[in-house]
């Protein structure tokens, strides 16, 4: 999938043209964007401690940081394997039981999902006319309404079935959803919930600001509207789940979003590759160092 998307992006902008964009880019803006990305990762590592502390685990900040970066790096090999590796590192070096550690990661993801949904809702509010007119021009409105009504009816029927049925599937779904809700509510029960919420907002603010700041690195993107930034950011964020670490999909997702605002495909795809490359290099360096340094920093625990 990633290879196909890489080929697709290079069919829109040749490799030679892409290299010209890389050569002429202002790397001070790229460096600043990378610093903002680094701050978000450090904040994520610090936020994790708020969830582990109430369970009685005083985890070293250094181990939390290295576990987060190692997890990001491993996600480039096997999707979501990084989350397992991240928890396993704390199990090995800090003695945190895997099930409890993984539960905190699930709760984190729920918090991140909530913020992402808020960003989407804000984007829909700010760009409602643009999004409505776009779908109106691309799709048959009566068919869209019929489809939405059908999906709503099917969704309600499924929810009714899940709530009332005693089948194994229904019980598993109810248990899973109950666990997600409990995990989300646990955020408000923790001792440092406001610090946790503050760091969550900071993490996502850095993500969006990093995306915006890096647009200044390329000619042909400025001036860029807040709508293009938000829709481009949302599209790029979802692309990371499409392939390992967004390989190939990230530039295509950025191009698809920016093209809605009439931004040329050359700068759009080049920006996507520059954004993805700068963050990938950061993860490779920090993640690689983390995997190397973890056993060294925890030598005493390993020897016990």
User: 12-37: per-residue pLDDT in tens?
Assistant: 788 888 899 999 999 999 999 999 99
Distance CA 210, CA 35 (A): 8
Q: Name the residue among 94, 114, 91 with its Cα closest to residue 103.
A: 91
Name which of 60-69, 84-93, 156-165, 262-271 the model is least confident about.
156-165
Name which of 62-76, 200-214, 232-246 the model is least confident about.
232-246
Instruction: Give pLDDT, residue 301.
Output: 63
Q: Name the residue among 263, 230, 254 with its Cα closest to residue 131.
A: 230
* Cα separations in angstroms, 224 against 125, 227, 230, 267: 18, 8, 11, 12
Instruction: Give pLDDT, residue 185.
Output: 63
Greater confidence, 128 or 46? 46
Residue-wise pLDDT for 98-124, tens only, equals 878 888 888 888 889 889 999 999 988
Residue-wise pLDDT for 165-195, tens only, equals 777 777 777 776 665 566 556 676 777 888 9
Q: Which alpha helices (H) appear in 55-140, and where do they start and end?
A: 61-74, 81-94, 98-126, 128-138
Question: Could you tell me if residue 165 is left (phi over 0), alpha (psi between -120 and 50 degrees) or otherwise beta?
Answer: beta
Residue 138, pLDDT > 70, answer no
Residue 303, pLDDT > 70, answer no
H/E stretch holding 168: helix 168-189
Residue 136, pLDDT > 70, answer no
H/E stretch holding 257: helix 249-259
Residue 225, pLDDT > 80, answer yes
Instruction: Give pLDDT, residue 64.
Output: 94
State the chain's mean pLDDT as an integer: 84
Distance CA 228, CA 299 (A): 48
Percent of the chain with pLDDT over 70: 89
Distance CA 275, CA 253 (A): 12
Residue 298, pLDDT > 90, answer no
27-52 and 61-74 helices cross at what angle (nearest 10)?
Answer: 120
Distance CA 117, CA 67 (A): 27
Residue 72, pLDDT > 60, answer yes
Whether the CB-CB separation of 183 and 107 falls below 8 Å is answered with: yes
SS3 260: coil
Most confident of 61-70, 73-82, 295-304: 61-70
Residue-wise pLDDT for 246-266, tens only, equals 788 899 889 988 988 888 888
Q: Name the residue among 207, 208, 214, 262 with its Cα closest to residue 230.
A: 208
Instruction: Give pLDDT, residue 184.
Output: 59
Q: Residue 79's domain spans which residues? A: 2-303
Peptide bond into 192 cis (omega under 30): no
Whether the CB-CB separation of 232 and 257 falls below 8 Å is answered with: yes
Q: Sorting pLDDT into bands at 50, 70 and 90, what band is 141?
A: low
Instruction: Give pLDDT, residue 191.
Output: 78
* Cα separations in angstroms, 160 against 153, 166, 170, 257: 11, 12, 10, 37
Q: Name the residue among 6, 1, 82 with its Cα closest to residue 277.
A: 6
Q: Name the residue among 263, 269, 251 with its Cα closest to residue 227.
A: 263
| Rg for the chain, CA atoms, rounded | 22
- Total of domains in the chain: 1
**pTM for the model:** 0.84
SS3 290: helix
């Amino acid at each position: 999938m990633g290879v196909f998307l890489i080929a697709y992006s290079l069919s829109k902008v040749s490799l030679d043209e892409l290299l010209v964009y890389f050569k002429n880019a202002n790397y001070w803006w790229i460096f600043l964007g990378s610093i903002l990305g680094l701050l978000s990762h450090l904040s994520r590592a610090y936020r994790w401690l708020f969830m582990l502390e109430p369970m009685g685990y005083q985890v070293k900040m250094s181990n939390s940081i290295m576990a987060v970066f190692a997890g990001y790096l491993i996600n480039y090999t096997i999707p979501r394997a990084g989350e397992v590796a991240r928890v396993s590192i704390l199990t090995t070096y800090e003695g945190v039981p895997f099930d409890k550690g993984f539960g905190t990661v699930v709760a984190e993801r729920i918090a991140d999902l909530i913020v992402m949904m808020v960003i989407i809702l804000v984007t829909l509010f700010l760009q409602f006319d643009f999004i409505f007119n776009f779908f109106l021009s691309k799709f048959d409105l009566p068919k869209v309404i019929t489809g939405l009504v059908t999906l709503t009816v099917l969704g309600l029927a499924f929810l009714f079935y899940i709530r009332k049925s005693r089948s194994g599937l229904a019980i598993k779904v109810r248990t899973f959803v109950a666990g997600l809700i409990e995990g989300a509510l646990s955020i408000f029960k923790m001792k440092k919930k406001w610090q946790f919420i503050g760091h969550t907002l900071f993490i996502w603010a850095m993500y969006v600001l990093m995306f915006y700041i890096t647009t200044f690195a390329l000619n042909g993107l400025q001036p860029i509207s807040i709508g293009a930034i938000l829709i481009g950011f949302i599209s790029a964020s979802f692309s990371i789940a499409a392939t390992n670490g967004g390989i190939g999909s990230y530039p295509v997702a950025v191009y698809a979003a920016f093209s809605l605002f009439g931004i040329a495909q050359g700068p759009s795809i080049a920006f996507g590759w520059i954004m993805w490359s700068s963050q990938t290099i950061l993860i490779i360096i920090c993640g690689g160092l983390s995997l190397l340094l973890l056993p060294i920093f925890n030598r005493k625990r390993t020897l016990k």
